[in-house]
Amino acid sequence: MKILKSSVVALATLGVCFAVETRFWEQGERSDFEKGSLHHLSLRSDGRIFPAPDFTEIFDSSTPYLWAIAADSKGNLYTGGGGSGSGSAKLFVIDPTGKSSTLAELEGLEIHAIAVDSSGAVYAATDPDGKVYKIAPDAKPQVFYDPHQKYIWALAFNRNGDLFIATGNQGEIHRVGPNGKGSVFFKTEETHARSLAIDAEDNLIVGTEPGGLVLRVSPSGQGFVLYQAPKREITAVAVAKDGAIYAAGVGNKTLSVPAPAPTLLPVPAVITASPGVTMATIPQHANPPPTFATGGGPTISGGSEVYRINPDGSPRKTWSNTQDIVYAIAFDPNGQPLLGTGNRGKIYRLDSDVISTELLDASPTQVTGFGKGSKGELYAVTGNIGRVYRLGPDVEKSGSFESEILDASSFSYWGRISYRGKGNIAVSTRSGNLNRPESNWSPWARLAADSGGEAICDSCGGGRVSSPPARFLQYKVELAGSAAEVSYVEIAYLAKNEAPSVEDVEITPPNYRFPSPVLSITPSTSITLPPIGQPHRSSSSSGIDIGSSQTLNYAKGYVGARWSAFDEDGDSLIYKVEIRGVKESGWKLLKDAVKEKYLSWDSTAFPDGEYVIRVTASDAPSNPRDQALEGSLEGDPFLIDNTPPQILKLAAAVSGNKIEVRWKARDARSNIDKAEYSVNGGEWLLIQPVTKLSDSPEEDYHLVIDRGQGEQVIAVRVNDEYDNQAVDKVVVKP
């Protein structure tokens, strides 16, 4: 059961994350627990963790892989595989006491299928270009049947004692009597009859490649396609007690080209459970068969799917995984399907059409097959390395889960861990400032007992984290007893407040001001939940901010500044803006509690001269007063200039039919920007200085105009860089 913190959800709705607010790291989904490490624990798809079935190794074959396992009525187990590089496939026997030995070495690279008849004789099929061998008690191996096919994928006996053999590359099913006489029973019209099972009515259930077909073949040899899977290859089929058929499909469908005869090459290569899926090192076939193939072909894409075909014939996809490849299907004592997969060595249980459980993670890379013992015990065989394990029936007495690493982003104080579960549960934590737990982390420490109060629910528990404050934290849950279970873990933490920083201060052009802020925020009284099935993540927004482009309005005498500021915690900030003259020592307050990252003010109250602005950012809106921190930055010196330039020595002289006007412009603090003239109140016209460049606080001007009729009034106007303006005139009499 997931618990959404209302305060955190409301906080996310407003888009503001306050440092003083306690944050919560929630773990309650399968995806959360998959990021950690499970030891002797199972993980259900709804996020429940509980003790896994006992998984005990009973035999190590020292060969790269084992593909099949079967048992006789006396309790002997038979298993086989290959990849030893010796050119022979080994058949092993494990007696009821656990003693193991090599029963036979057969020609071929591998033993891919094993069956035991009612008399206790063992049948083993070798690949490639293999044969079916019979090993009777106290007798040497004999070739029992040669199907003259490249691959033998599966063996199964019906109630009459007939042996059925699934083959490739012709996709044939052969039937062989107890006397070793046999022939083609059914042609699938596919390249490979890839998997085989027999139901309670002696119908054959066949999976094929490359069409991904699941066929039912009657005892009379009549075939019927039960389902055409979207996947290319049906790697395993199994029949449940109620008659439902489970089939595993892998690989995306492409155009299929029949494989030529395998040729042994002297160069070692990699055996794969599918092209590109590493299994072991053996001599290479020149051209591989499907899935359990040799060579380094392209990696199977799309993972696996499992389909259930109900007794009435209706199909349904009951499980899928984008990473794991299903090699085998079996049933536990309760009749629930088990899936053996690679290349992560996981065994899954299908609890329903929507719930599945990752029962355990086997240490080898592939779980390649299942088999039942004489007393109903369930066994699994593996690849990389080939071993035999007994699965259950007991569960592990204890197990543990180590979480992924929580990165709090900054130095943090740890609060309470709360969990939902039942049974014997112990929780520990460790912390550090390195992003991986090593010797420089704190040791594992059990939770400190709560100071008082009751749990919020009957199945809830928790305590205070004892690990020291740091940036990173990891927790461990230990379960003891078959009834123990955990489904939700929540960790409270509080990041240590970090001081904000003002990163840049910029003075805007003079005589312009920022428009008055019109944006207002009204806190919402509603909350928004995340989509169902998706975990909640709190917002890390630092509030609403103006964009990088800003429009200023002309306002004579105004000066403006803008700045950029950052807070590591995402706190809301307010600003204090101060000013001082460059030759002064004391700061004078311009404005306090500024919420925007800009400010304009009227500079006409300040004497002309050079000044410096200091901006101080405070995270007080997001922190208690005694924990609020500040950061400041001074900008570059800037000039306040509100005094107009001077017009000096303005004079006019008549020379023939021309009038020559001369004057000098001078400013105390800035360059002369431009000069203009007007004749008799006419249009203002621009004039260049004598040097043609306006680049100095002092400029000379020389104007020549035509002499008109009557009196001439010539006005001149001069502006400095701060748009201060001076005007004067000269009159020329007729």
CA atoms within 13 A on the CB side of 678: 11
The answer to whether position 112 is within a domain reads yes
How many independent structural domains does the chain possess?
4
Is the pLDDT score of 342 beyond 60?
yes
Q: What's the chain's Rg over C-alpha atoms?
A: 43
Domain co-membership, 44 together with 162:
no
Residues 427, 476: contact at Cβ < 8 Å?
Answer: yes
- Residues 465 and 473: beta-carbon distance below 8 Å: yes
- Structure confidence by residue, pLDDT tens digits, 588-612: 999 999 999 999 999 999 999 999 9
Residue in this structure with the two tokens 């066994």, named with its chain if needed = 379
Dist CA 622 CA 706 (whole Å): 72
Q: Does residue 530 lie in a domain region?
A: no
Residue 388 and residue 431 in one domain:
no
Q: Which of 579, 606, 640 is the last residue of a domain?
A: 640
In a domain, 365, yes or no: yes
Identify the residue whose tokens are 């595993």: 248
For residues 721 and 609, membership in a common domain is answered with no
Q: What is the pLDDT of residues 132-178, one digit of tens each?
A: 999 988 778 999 999 999 999 999 999 999 999 999 999 999 999 99
CATH of the domain at 33: 2.60.120
Flag whether 709 is in a domain: yes
Residue 442 DSSP label: P
What percent of the chain has pLDDT above 90? 73
Residue 585, domain CATH = 2.60.40.10
Verify that 414 and 471 share a domain, yes or no: yes
Report which residue type is found at 396. E
Give every CB contact of residue 535 below 8 A, 6+ residues apart in sequence.
2, 26, 28, 29, 31, 32
Q: Is residue 183 part of a domain?
A: yes
Claim to verify: residue 43 and residue 60 sit in the same structural domain = no
Contact between residue 220 and residue 201 where contact means Cβ atoms under 8 Å apart: no
Q: Residue 108's pLDDT band (boundaries 50, 70, 90)?
A: confident
What pLDDT is attached to residue 362?
84
Q: Please provide residue 9's backbone torsions phi and psi, each rounded to the nearest 5 degrees.
A: -65, -45
Can you give the CATH number for the domain in which 227 is found? 2.130.10.10
Residue 99 phi/psi, 5-degree rounding, is -75, 135
User: 21 and 347 in contact (C-beta within 8 Å)?
Assistant: no
DSSP sequence for 59-105: EE--SSEEEEEEE-TTS-EEEEEE-SSSSEEEEEEE-TTS-EEEEEE
Query: Hunting for tokens 């955990």 — which residue is that?
Result: 486
* Same domain, yes or no: 485 and 428: yes
Would 520 be classed as within a structural domain?
A: no
Is 544's pLDDT higher than 80? no
Residue 274 has pLDDT above 70, yes or no: no
How confident is the model at residue 547, as a pLDDT? 45
The count of other CB atoms within 10 Å of the CB of residue 418 is 22
Q: Do 616 and 663 have their domain in common? A: no
175 and 95 in a single domain? The answer is yes
Q: Are residues 478 and 607 in the same domain?
A: no
- In-domain check, residue 427: yes
Collapse the DSSP code of 605 into the 3-class scheme (helix H, G, I; strand E, B; otherwise coil) and give the result.
helix
In which domain, by residue range, is 701 found? 646-732
Are the C-beta atoms of residues 279 and 65 closer than 8 Å to each other?
yes
* 686 HSE (CA, 13 A, CB side): 7
The single-letter DSSP state of residue 120 is S
Same domain, 695 and 627: no
* Boundary (domain end) residue, out of 495, 528, 559: 495
Written in H, E and C, the secondary structure of 318-350 is: EEEECCCEEEEEEECCCCCEEEEEECCCEEEEE
Among 395, 428, 451, give the residue marking a domain's end. Answer: 395
Residue 430 counted as domain residue = yes
Q: Are 593 and 691 contained in the same domain?
A: no
* Neighbour count for residue 373 (Cβ, 10 Å): 18
Does residue 249 contact residue 300 with C-beta atoms inside 8 Å?
no
Q: Do residues 41 and 346 lie in contact, with contact meaning Cβ atoms separated by under 8 Å?
A: no
> Binning pLDDT at 50, 70 and 90, where does residue 300 land?
low
Query: Is residue 500 a contact partner of residue 633, using CB atoms and an 8 Å limit?
Result: no
First to last CA, the chain: 103
Question: Which secondary-structure segment (H or E) carries 132?
Answer: strand 132-135
Mean pLDDT in residue range 644-666: 94
Token pair, residue 733, equals 């009499």
Cross-strand pairs, 456: none
Q: Is 653 exposed, middle or buried (0-12, 13-18, 19+ CB in 10 A)?
A: exposed
Q: List pLDDT tens digits, range 203-227.
A: 999 999 999 999 999 999 999 999 9
DSSP string, 205-238: EEEEESS-EEEEE-TTS-EEEEEE-SEEEEEEEE
Report the pLDDT averaged over residues 77-91.
Answer: 79
Give the least confident one: 129-133, 162-166, 181-185. Answer: 129-133
Tell whether 657 and 630 lie within a shared domain.
no
**Residue 583 contacts residue 546 (beta carbons within 8 Å):** no
For residue 482, pLDDT beyond 70:
yes
- Give the pLDDT of residue 527: 56
DSSP state letters, 458-511: TTEEEEE--SPPEEEEEEEEEEEEEEEEEEEEEEEEEEPP---EEEEEEEPPTT
Q: Tell me, what's the pLDDT at 282?
A: 27
Give the separation between CA 650 and CA 662, rounded to whole angstroms.
6
Q: What is the pLDDT of residue 498?
A: 87
279 Cβ neighbours under 8 A, 6+ residues apart: 64, 65, 83, 270, 271, 272, 273, 365, 366, 383, 384
* Cα–Cα distance for residue pair 382/366, rounded to 1 Å: 5
**Residues making up the chain, counted from first to last:** 734
Query: Cα separation of 347 and 357, whole Å?
Result: 9
pLDDT at 129: 87
Cα separations (Å) of 439 from 430, 665, 710? Answer: 11, 76, 101
Residues in CB range of 532: below 8 A, 6 or more apart: none
Point out the least confidently predicted range of 113-127, 297-311, 333-347, 354-368. Answer: 297-311
Per-residue model confidence as pLDDT tens digits over 677-705: 999 999 999 999 999 999 999 999 999 99
Query: CB within 8 A of 373, min separation 6: which ones?
Result: 71, 75, 77, 379
